[in-house]
Structure 1
């Protein structure tokens, strides 16, 4: 999850010959769509794994923490059925993509370079980029740094906030009083790994539930974004049932990937916040001018924490086409509300000028 840097799912369809991993649900549209294809493409990191479905203008889907390409399983067939070449990547450090050893290999500029490499590897010149959670920040910065490649940008859960202010580490260290904000908790290499990796599946189940609209802790419960002295994040996660959007098969997919790759690469993104602040100094206060879309969850802490960023959209997103808050929805909105998210995305895409695709 990315903070202030910051409906059950359909059953999976059978795996295809081209699919060495999890299946993608069948599209709800009647338009025929070919099965998804898994590919490895070269990137500055070494290789990136992606899942591609459909043909037409390229739409690049970038996931957040702690997820993977599979978090877009509902969008791939829907976008393909709507006439787009939908491509969901495993961000470097995740899934079958490369996992560089150096922590600074996960800085924002490197992830933007990966996104550009995917567009090049697919033989395209431009793309629309869509991101969720950390993927929203990657999408926004890709559009900011390479407007020649990324002609439109959609941000899910985490709104655009231009670079500025003091160093992120200074900001986050002051949050929470006697308790530690989760972003600060993730900073020390090995610390969060020691909590997560003995029981990856159980930790993920609790984390997903803590941020889902139907299972998150109630107003009187200790917030799951903070760690008490000597405590862990997990001790504040809800237990007992999975969110409606996540069945046992879905959880197996996410857990299986992290059990294989471990979590260092995923957590390294949090350990580059100050580097990003330094790297992106030339973009201090710069607005995103491309056609844009924002979708947030009404119960998502990212939406409430960053209410000021949303209010500033007229200045920071002058190309904003529309902004939507999904009532009763938590953080994982494209999985919690797949049909609504798909409709908002396809309506927005259809309204873009041809050059934006």
Structure 2
């Protein structure tokens, strides 16, 4: 564990998933940190001590299906409604009534829906990398099937249980290294190269990943942490999040177009496809995030924002948290 986390506490708390593993540091108002794919609580290693030093109780969880949290059987156990319930259960298990929730990647979408569905629990929401886009439009699978022409979009590639697992699990460490590098500012392929978000007919995602180089933010020890967790758990729990997007679209029908009104923050990477592809969602924030306090695009930053640019992200987070009502 990094030296700055030596006084952090690991705990298991009850949740609808069974148990959620979390790491907490500090005392004060609760800030719940939710990671994305394919990561774990460890993606917040740079934020936990800084938030603790700023006077917050910082808590980073392993989302269900990841790390040391429970891994319920069945694909449908990873729908958004269940992940929101897990987050609320963590808050209450820690003896709190409310929290600020901050998420990255899938964690940003989980955080947004936690604020939308449980406003009495989540008083503010921070989104990293993936903008808030209200439920609406066609069924997600129909959108993804139309993307890429002769190539297959990675979300579609992830849909069939076992297919992506067969690519990833024989060499988890190597696959993760390539995936992280493909979406990092200093190692991502040039725009003239084949897009690593798509799969060629008969190919794999890894075919388009950079090889034999790690981004600056990812040390060998960091990669060992991530790889060790997925080598132990497998990837199905993590991939099942993608396999519920149509279910989420059905479950959230009553929230079509719904805004999130709590105080909010967005931080995106200037070189991140999540930011560029979803530019219209960012432009719609005056309507969809009327409580937006601040929105930032970090130049020359890729997808792994809080790990690529921890100093800037920590400053933006603590400034935003300090602006919130007590």
TM-score normalized with structure 1 length: 0.91
Q: After TM superposition, give the deviation of residue 24 of structure 1 in Å.
A: 3.9
The aligned residue for residue 6 of structure 1 is none
The aligned residue for residue 112 of structure 1 is 84
How far apart in 2 are the matches of 1:26 and 1:40?
Answer: 21
Structure 1: unaligned runs, 5 residues or longer: 1-22, 28-33
The aligned residue for residue 269 of structure 2 is 297
Cα RMSD (Å) of the superposition? Answer: 0.8
How far apart in 2 are the matches of 1:331 and 1:323?
Answer: 16
The aligned residue for residue 98 of structure 2 is 126
How far apart in 2 are the matches of 1:224 and 1:208?
Answer: 11
Structure 2: unaligned runs, 5 residues or longer: none
SS in 1 for 2:4: coil
Measured against aligned partners, the alpha-carbon deviations of 1:308-345 in whole angstroms (never above 9, x if no partner) come to 00000011000000000000000000000001000000
The aligned residue for residue 35 of structure 1 is 7
The aligned residue for residue 230 of structure 2 is 258
What does 1:1-357 align with in structure 2 at a 5 Å threshold?
Answer: 23-26=1-4, 35-354=7-326
Q: After TM superposition, give the deviation of residue 50 of structure 1 in Å.
A: 0.1
SS in 2 for 1:47: strand
Q: After TM superposition, give the deviation of residue 240 of structure 1 in Å.
A: 2.1
The aligned residue for residue 14 of structure 1 is none
How far apart in 2 are the matches of 1:266 and 1:219?
Answer: 28
Q: After TM superposition, give the deviation of residue 241 of structure 1 in Å.
A: 1.2
The answer to whether the 8 Å contact 1:25/1:77 transfers is no
How far apart in 2 are the matches of 1:181 and 1:276?
Answer: 19
Hey, which bits of structure 1, 4+ residues long, moved more than 3 A?
Answer: none
Q: After TM superposition, give the deviation of residue 276 of structure 1 in Å.
A: 0.2
